Amino acid sequence: MWPDKNAASLIKDRSSAPSSKWYKIPYKLKRKSFKTFVEAEAKAAETSGHTDSDSTQPLPKLEQEKYILKRQLEISSSENDAIILELQTDIKQFKQKLDLQEQLMRQMEREKNLLIEELTAQNTRLSNELKKANATELQLSAQLQEIKEQCNRRTLSIQDHVSSLESLKNELRMILEKKNDLENRLHMTATEKETLSVALNEASERIHILERSTMEQDTKYQMTVQTLDRLERENGTLSERLESFDSQRSHPSDPHHSSLLQEMNGEDDSMMIDGSGANNDEATILLYKEAQSVYKQLKTLCQTLRNTHHDDDSGLHSDMSFSSMDNTSSSAPQSVDAGLGPSTGPSPHSSGPVGINGRGPEKFHRGMLSSAADELVHIIMNMDAMQFKTMFEQTRSMLIDQEEDLKKKTDLIMQLESKLSVQDIELQSAIEERNQARHDASDSSLAQDETVIQARKDRDAAIERRTKAEVELAKNRVELMQANSQLLEAIQQKVELLQQLEQWQIDMHELIEEQMKNKLNNETSTKPQTPQRPSSQQTGSSGSSSAGSSASNRKSRLLDLFYHR
């Protein structure tokens, strides 16, 4: 609803006007609507004047006119809205057309730029072709000049031919001097080759000596293994006999018989023994004392080996220990046989065995002799393993050094051979040039012909090219040989690395197995053993089988330690 104000107040106060679509209407529509508004305002003023003048006019008529004016205003505003919508659609269409025209202009500009770029590229290509044509023209002109110069050279006189002959003689003299120099160098290389071959033979002899020493060490190791097996067998026999005598002593047929340990400890008991029983007691006591002496010797030997473990001459001490052990083992059966005869043995009431290093008496019971033998075997095995390992490392380092020296010498020989082959080719080419120069000097009748001179020049050029090609071929052969040698060396190094990796894996597996075996052996040794006393025959058979199995286990362990390291 428009307020009842005049046009001037409406223009001044725009807040009273409709604010939703008023500023979106174009100027012409605003003007038109404003005119209609002014007309309506004038009509309203007239009606108001009529009302003032004619106050007697009825009020419903004024209301009707006001309603009619309001409807006219709404109709005009709706018409204005329709016109505004049409104009907006026209504006959108014009904008779309403008966008299409701008896109067409951009596309035309892009095509124009592409065409310009193509024309510039074509221009540069044509300029490059023109430059190449100029360069070819210059080359052809230079070739033409060279051909002209060659034609002028063919018109030389006899003096030029004589001077060329003198120059050929000088070149021949220089070639002869070069030949003599090459022969001297060839002789020097031959002497160097002989010296290198002598050095190679010496190195091979040293390698054979080292191999022989390794074989001797292997034989020494096998001998030590055999002696250890023999000692283990003797230990087994002694332990079997001791167990058999113990079983006889502990048999229930002789209940009043005292034990061997009680006799060694000096217990005084009264016993009734017959003649055969006395002989058995004396033999048992002698065997027991011999086993005790063997145990003492084994313990002393173990102590001395431990003391001399870090000495340099541990092999000598081990040999001395082996000899002393052989003497004791050989004397033990004799003492046993003597004890079985009619000899007067020691008193059964003797004092107990004195401990090693004067520590006082200690009791000797079953299993001590085998444990001492195992301890001795373990110590000797460790000492021999360390000694053999150090010797093996020394020999291996020496072999590696010798192999490196041999590689260096072979590389030097190959280089000298390559130089010799190149020099041989140069010498052959020089000899051919000399022979051709002599042949040309002998043919003096054809020396003045230009065709012959040109043919000789062409021949000399061809020979020179051939010699250059042969020299390059020899150099390429030498390079190929060097590349092949380097490739073979790389392959050999790779194979050695793979072998070292496999050996390391094998060593690790063996070390783990050895640790597990030692752990199992320690566990089995720490377990309490239930003492059983079977008959003498069963004891002997079980003792022999256990001794054989222990010997085979120790032998396999020694072989695993030495042959795989």
Q: Does residue 90 lie within any of the structural domains?
A: yes
Measured CA to CA, the distance from residue 256 to residue 253 in angstroms comes to 9
Which of 354, 375, 406 is the endpoint of a domain? 406
Q: Are residues 119 and 178 in the same domain?
A: no
Q: What Cα–Cα distance (Å) separates residue 202 from each residue in 199, 214, 395, 402, 403?
A: 5, 18, 16, 11, 13
The 3-state DSSP class for residue 422 equals helix
DSSP code per residue over 146-207: HHHHHHHHTT--HHHHHHHHHHHHHHHHHHHHHHHHHHHHHHHHHHHHHHHHHHHHHHHHHH
Are 281 and 336 members of one domain?
A: yes
- 47: which 2 tokens? 């009606």
CA proximity to 241, closest of 279, 291, 276, 275: 291
Q: pTM value? A: 0.27
Assigned domain for 372 exists: yes
Residue 75 to residue 413: CA distance in whole angstroms: 120
Residue 17 CB partners (closer than 8 Å, separation 6+):
2, 10
The count of structural domains within the chain is 2
Same-domain check for residues 79 and 218: no
pLDDT at position 89: 92
Domain boundary among the residues 150, 165, 186 is at 150
Contacts 24+ apart (CB under 8 A), 93-96: none
pLDDT band at 126 (very low <50, low <70, confident <90, very high): very high
**Cα 433 to chain center, whole Å?**
56
289 and 373 in a single domain? The answer is yes
**Token pair listed for 138:** 């210059």
**Per-residue pLDDT tens for 127-156?**
999 999 899 989 998 888 888 887 777 666
User: Does any domain span residue 167?
Assistant: no
In a domain, 194, yes or no: yes
| 141/196 same-domain check | no
Residue 364 and residue 216 share a domain = yes
Task: Calculate ∠ Cα 10-12-17, nearest 5°.
Answer: 40
Phi-psi category of residue 109: left, alpha or beta, with phi > 0 → left and psi -120 to 50 → alpha:
alpha
Question: Does the residue 548 lie in any domain?
Answer: no
What pLDDT is recorded for position 442? 62
C-alpha 287/C-alpha 237 separation (Å) is 12
Does one domain contain both 227 and 357?
Answer: yes
Domain match, 139 and 198 both: no
Asked whether residue 197 falls in the same domain as residue 323, the answer is: yes
Q: Which domain holds residue 89?
A: 7-150
The verdict on 341 and 194 lying in the same domain is yes
Long-range Cβ contact pairs of 163-167 (< 8 A, separation 24 or more): 165/441, 165/447
Domain limit, last residue, from 355, 382, 406: 406
Could you give the percent of the chain with pLDDT greater than 70?
56
Residues 470, 430 contacting (CB under 8 angstroms): no
Query: What is the pLDDT, as a whole number, of residue 58?
Result: 59
Maximum average pLDDT range among 87-91, 199-203, 248-252: 87-91
Please check whether residue 495 lies inside any domain of the structure: no
Q: Which of 440, 417, 253, 234 is nearest to 332 (CA)?
A: 234
Most confident of 272-276, 365-369, 409-413, 550-554: 409-413
